[in-house]
């Protein structure tokens, strides 16, 4: 009997943190897929994780329709999560996100890569701090 | 393969008349593969009598698989007789750290003022390895390690040999901050190691009523270990890492509670005890 597949421990522990955190938090795995977001993030997205489930890397970048505060589109790789994933360093930006219900949220977004050992990245944590909503 | 428990107490050795049935020595489990290779899971105080047995037998190569470096899993190493035989080769496997080698971390204990002998003065040949996160062969056994939820770098082990399988998770808190019953199995710490093994040795330090005062201490209560075993669909569950404040009668009560919770009959859950011997796989008598 072979052992079963399993997420990396750093992702498991990050999910435990997210699940208990009142701050919106998104968790991206080493393939770039959005594998978890918490209840606080559900309020920004307008849909629960239970509804959407894990979301492929191709899909989730477009989900929030991220722009700069003055409305200029932001490419996924230029968002804090994109920078943390592609360049493997922390990043921060002020962004606007549009939820599934059309509501717009201005957020401070911070993202950082998760390393278990030097050079071995298991994913990215992205935290949103809502500054205003409309 | 043959599995023998030499120590199953958690946190600190707890000898005395109230712990006679299950024993007071801390974590140490011997695994003898079907081709005779000698593996030792953890180096708690149970390692001292095991070392005497291996020295008497004349074993020349031993693989010590450390789950982590808390003292109750390491203290027996300095009293392991094969270490003091220059003809013995001891391989020590343990969780990797991004800042210090395994040898350097162990040397914090095996050096003055905590211990009179320095690691560098040990007569046996020592080789240190990071715990294998991809499966490796030791003798006829395949060994796999994975990081698990505890305090500090900690791994569990899965050993398969001759058609039998064992999972060793002596210090493990997979329920920290989550409800195991609600999680997909690939999000559960330790799941890949334990999935459908014949025998699971798992942390069961606390009764359910004690756990709320020990959240985040790195250990499991009965409810959690039973749910973990159910999710992982293990053959036999052995409760391990007994709390030093739990006497034998109290451990019996915890086992009964676990068996009732698991609901697979009274034999499906056992308490680890010193001298416990289990044969797994093709070595098992018909």
A111 strand-pairing partners:
A91, A126
**Nearest Cα residue in chain B from A10:** B147
Give the pLDDT score at A132. Answer: 61
CA-wise closest residue to B83 among B106, B60, B115: B60
Domains and CATH numbers, chain B: 2-281 (3.60.15.10)
Averaged pLDDT, B48-59: 98
Nearest to B192 among A5, A20, A115 (CB): A5
Averaged pLDDT, A50-54: 87
pTM above 0.95, yes or no: no
B178 contacts A16? CB cut-off 8 A: yes
Mean of all residue pLDDT scores within chain B:
95
Tens digit of pLDDT for each residue in A72-86? 999 989 999 999 999
- The interface predicted TM-score (ipTM) is 0.75
Tens digit of pLDDT for each residue in B130-181? 999 999 999 999 999 999 999 889 999 999 999 999 999 999 999 998 889 9
Q: What is d(CA A9, CA A122) in angstroms, rounded to the nearest whole number? A: 9
Q: What is d(CA B270, CA B48) in angstroms, rounded to the nearest whole number? A: 24
Would you place residue A119 in the very low, low, confident or very high pLDDT band (cuts 50, 70, 90)? confident
Would you place residue B200 in the very low, low, confident or very high pLDDT band (cuts 50, 70, 90)? very high
The CATH superfamily holding the domain A9-133 is PAS domain (3.30.450.20)
Give which of B102, B189, B193 to mutate to test A binding, by max A Cβ within 10 Å. Answer: B189
Would you place residue A134 in the very low, low, confident or very high pLDDT band (cuts 50, 70, 90)? very low
Give which of B99, B178, B281 to mutate to test A binding, by max A Cβ within 10 Å. Answer: B178
Considering chain B, what percentage of its residues have pLDDT values greater than 70?
99
Beta strands per DSSP E along B73-140:
89-94, 125-130, 136-138
Hey, how many other C-beta atoms are within 10 angstroms of the C-beta on A102?
A: 7
Does the pLDDT of residue B114 top 90, yes or no? Answer: yes
Would you place residue B219 in the very low, low, confident or very high pLDDT band (cuts 50, 70, 90)? very high
Q: Which residues of A touch B144 (CB under 8 A)?
A: 3
Averaged pLDDT, B48-57: 98
CA-wise closest residue to B272 among B2, B54, B3, B47: B3
Boundaries of every domain in chain A: 9-133
Would you place residue B283 in the very low, low, confident or very high pLDDT band (cuts 50, 70, 90)? low
Give the pLDDT score at B266. Answer: 87
């Amino acid at each position: 009997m072979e052992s079963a597949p399993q997420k990396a421990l750093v992702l498991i522990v990050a999910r435990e943190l997210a699940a208990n955190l009142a701050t919106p938090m998104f968790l991206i795995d080493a393939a770039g897929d959005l594998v978890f977001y918490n209840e606080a993030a559900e309020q920004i997205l307008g849909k629960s994780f239970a509804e959407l489930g894990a979301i492929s890397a191709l899909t989730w970048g477009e989900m929030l329709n991220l722009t700069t505060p003055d409305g200029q589109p932001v490419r996924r790789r230029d968002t804090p999560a994109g920078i943390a994933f592609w360049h493997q360093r922390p990043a921060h930006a002020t962004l606007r996100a549009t939820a599934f219900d059309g509501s717009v949220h201005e957020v401070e977004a911070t993202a950082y890569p998760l390393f278990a050992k030097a050079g071995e990245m298991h994913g990215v944590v992205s935290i949103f701090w809502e500054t205003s909503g409309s | 393969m043959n599995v023998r428990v030499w120590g199953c107490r958690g946190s600190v050795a707890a000898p005395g008349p109230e712990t006679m049935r299950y024993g007071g020595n801390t974590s140490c489990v011997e695994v003898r593969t079907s081709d005779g290779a000698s593996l030792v899971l953890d180096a708690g105080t149970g390692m001292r009598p095991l070392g005497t047995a291996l020295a008497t037998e004349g074993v020349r190569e031993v693989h010590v698989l450390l789950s982590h470096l808390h003292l109750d899993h390491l203290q027996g190493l300095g009293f392991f007789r094969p270490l003091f035989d220059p003809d013995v080769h001891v391989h020590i496997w343990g969780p990797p750290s991004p800042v210090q080698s395994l040898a350097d971390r162990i040397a914090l204990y095996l050096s003055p003022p905590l211990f009179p002998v320095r690691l560098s003065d040990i007569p046996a040949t020592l080789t240190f390895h990071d715990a294998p996160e991809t499966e490796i062969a030791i003798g006829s056994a395949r060994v796999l390690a994975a990081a698990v939820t505890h305090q500090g770098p900690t791994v569990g082990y899965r050993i398969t040999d001759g058609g039998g399988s064992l999972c060793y998770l002596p210090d493990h808190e997979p329920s920290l901050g989550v409800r195991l019953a609600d999680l997909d199995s690939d999000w559960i710490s330790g799941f890949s190691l334990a999935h459908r093994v014949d025998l699971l040795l798992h942390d069961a330090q606390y009764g359910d009523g004690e756990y709320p005062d020990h959240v985040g201490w790195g250990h499991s209560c009965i409810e959690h270990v039973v749910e973990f075993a159910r999710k992982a669909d293990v053959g036999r569950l052995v409760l391990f890492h007994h709390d030093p404040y739990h006497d034998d009668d109290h451990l019996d009560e915890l086992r009964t509670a676990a068996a009732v919770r698991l609901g697979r009959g009274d034999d499906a859950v056992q308490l680890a005890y010193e001298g416990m011997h289990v044969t797994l796989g093709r070595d098992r008598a018909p």
